[in-house]
Amino acid sequence: MKETMRRSAIFGGALKMAFLNLSPHIQWRNPVMFVTYVGAIATVALVIQGAFKGSFSPFNLQIACWLILTVLFANFAEAMATSRGKAQAAGLRRIQHETYARRVVEGREEAVRSCELQKGDLIVCSAGDLIPADGEVVEGVAAVDESAITGESAPVIRESGGDRSAVTAGTRLVSDRLIIKVTAESGTSFLAHMIALIEGASRQKIPSEIALSIILSGLTLIFLLTVSSLKLFSLFSGEAGGADLSSPVTLPILISLLVCLIPTTISSLLGAIAIAGMDRLIQRNVIAKSGRSIEAAGDIDLLIMDKTGTITMGNRMAYAFLPARGVSERELAEVAQLASLADETPEGRSIVVLSKSLFGLRGDIFQANRTKLIPFSAQTRMSGVDFLSPEGQVTRRIRKGAVQAIRSFIEAQGGIYSPTFDLQAREIAKEGGTPLLVSDDNRIVGLIHLKDTLKGGIKARIEEMRRMGIRTLMITGDNPLTAAAIALESGVDDYVAEATPESKLTRIKEEQAKGLLVAMAGDGTNDAPALAQADIGMAMNTGTQASREAGNMVDLDSNPTKLIEIVGIGKGLLMTRGALTTFSIANDLAKYFAIIPALFGGLYASDGSGPLIGLNIMRLHSPESAILSAVIFNALIIIALIPLALQGVHYKPQSAQALLRSNLLIYGVGGIIAPFVGIKVIDLLIHGLGLTH
């Protein structure tokens, strides 16, 4: 019921907008439709003039009505796309209501309206508060409900000093307390920017759209000059052939011919296609800051992806226990589990889970005064447990951690480290895994193979990119061996290991210098230079303010793999525009066969019919019926193609040659056949209803 009401509201809003946009200062922005607009007005004026002079023409009135409808249908196409955006914007605007903020001034809090906040102000938010402005967390850790923007009900963690420090106006604090530094002036928040983009208030035509508009305007000018000369041609030819062409070659009929021949179909749908492309991104919770970025997505040559979280799951999990000589796998699992009980990292938890799933082992319950748990830390790079004697002396030391850290620990206790473990560790790294050593006192009992598994379907999606002609590059801070293994397993074309912000930026510049368009996803402050340099820079909404400002797209779901979907959306947008342009131009052929015989069928006639009447291959009933059928088809095809413009042509990864062949077959040949069928059907209806003689 709600969905039906929403659709009714969208349709009603679009219909109202279609009439409001009849204003000349709006119509002139589209030169092709402006010619149709002027033609419609001129025809209406001729009908009114004829009525006053006593020579009212029902035929001219029908032409005038259908020309007006052509303009209205064109307005409705773009209004329909815009109206869908306005419905989304209305939902966002409801959460942008006026709120109060607690601003920190000289160590004390004062209540101010959110519109009074300035960039650089410090504000305090507690659990239950609506965050009043875009900002960066400078103190505290808290859960934030971002469902109003992302649609995701699960709260997300925001904290200071990391890559998840950005917060957005209109979201709500679920727990704890944050001190936030305002990063946007009033009225320029991320939410306000989203609303403007969705409503199309700040939409600018993208370069290819501008180029196509210029071409279409050029074609219109050529047809305008050609049709304008037909009156003189008809007078000359009529006199030479002894025929009177004053009746068929009238101003309303010439206007009809012009409107049917100029590319009204694609011109009326261009705006709708572009807005719908933006809308498809928004439906996937991606905000494009400009139409240019959507267009670039369709032409991307190189896709740069971070390994962790994009190609792989991001959490390294225990994959296998590899015991040393003389040690059983169960014994290694027992020791590894004990060493991991104090390790709260995902890796440590996965070791406990793996030992339990393989051997049913459960963590021992230690006496507090007889054991000492050693938690994992980034400084020591290991965790473990010490067993103590009744006197408090350490009787047994169990450790698990990085290879170099455990080696140093063993040697410090006087143990002997075998290079064999280095070879095993290298083999694990070659497979894309991470090796951990496990020691019991001063001896190594084996290794743990941690593996960052590939995301489901990522290999198939990378193969899709390859079929599109897009190269893929994986960037990671891992060592070259691990990077090479993951690159081989995932199927990427190339990789960069031990990457730094400088190396990312350098690589993007190198690729762009070759004439390639580059796309990249990132979320950290160190990603900002590369995001700004890339042709498509998709920042994560959970990332820092610097990265969000640097990118030209923001993913509200913070899912880096969505970059692959965005490429598909961009290509679909370009395909839709190309397909409808092909269809629109191909339409003209049938209109020639309809209107030219109607205008000049009586030229050089010997028995009432001249040689040009042979072009009436559709066997249309009369000249008036032929002209009216062409005008009606020209108007109705706009309405028929609105769903395709809004939905977009379905993109299937394949070569450019295959896409071109498919496009020409479906929309080129289809654009030739459809009007022949459509005009003939309309002619039969007109004749059956007696609308012409």
Distances (CA, A) of 491 to 198, 463, 483, 494: 37, 7, 12, 9
Distances (CA, A) of 222 to 268, 473, 571, 591, 594: 19, 47, 31, 17, 20
The answer to whether 306 is a known catalytic residue is yes
- 333, 321 in Cβ contact below 8 A? yes
Residue 95 burial class via C-beta count within 10 angstroms: exposed 0-12, middle 13-18, buried 19 and up? middle
Distance CA(521)–CA(167), nearest Å, equals 19
Structure tokens at 315: 């959490």
Give me the residues paired with residue 287 across strands: 554
- 620, 676 in Cβ contact below 8 A? no
Choose the catalytic residue: 129, 145, 306, 535.
Answer: 306
Residues in the chain: 693
Structure tokens at 143: 């859960």
∠ CA 549-551-557, nearest 5°, is: 95
200: left (phi over 0), alpha (psi -120 to 50) or beta: left
For residue 542, how many other CB atoms are within 10 A of its CB? 25
From 483, 674, 453, 689, select the one nearest 584 (Cα to Cα): 674
Give me the residues paired with residue 495 across strands: 474
From 38, 39, 68, 64, select the one nearest 51 (Cα to Cα): 64
∠ CA 370-372-374, nearest 5°, is: 160
Distance CA(399)–CA(84), nearest Å, equals 60
Cα torsion angle, 208, 211, 217, 223, sign: negative
Residue 107: phi and psi, rounded to 5, are 85, 0
Axis-axis angle for helices 251-261, 31-52 (nearest 10) = 160
DSSP reduced 3-state for 371: strand
DSSP reduced 3-state for 45: helix
Q: What share of the chain is helix, strand, coil (3-state, %, to 5)?
A: 55, 15, 30
From 525, 479, 484, select the one nearest 498 (Cα to Cα): 479
From 523, 526, 538, select the one nearest 502 (Cα to Cα): 526
Structure tokens at 224: 């305008």
Distance CA(626)–CA(84), nearest Å, equals 37
- The contacts found for 690-693 with CB under 8 angstroms, 24 or more apart, are 691/62, 691/625, 691/628, 692/59, 692/621, 692/622, 692/624, 692/625, 692/628, 693/622, 693/624
Structure tokens at 144: 């934030």
Distance CA(629)–CA(16), nearest Å, equals 27
- 220, 35 in Cβ contact below 8 A? yes
Residue 439: phi and psi, rounded to 5, are -125, 150
For residue 350, how many other CB atoms are within 10 A of its CB? 20
Catalytic residues: 306
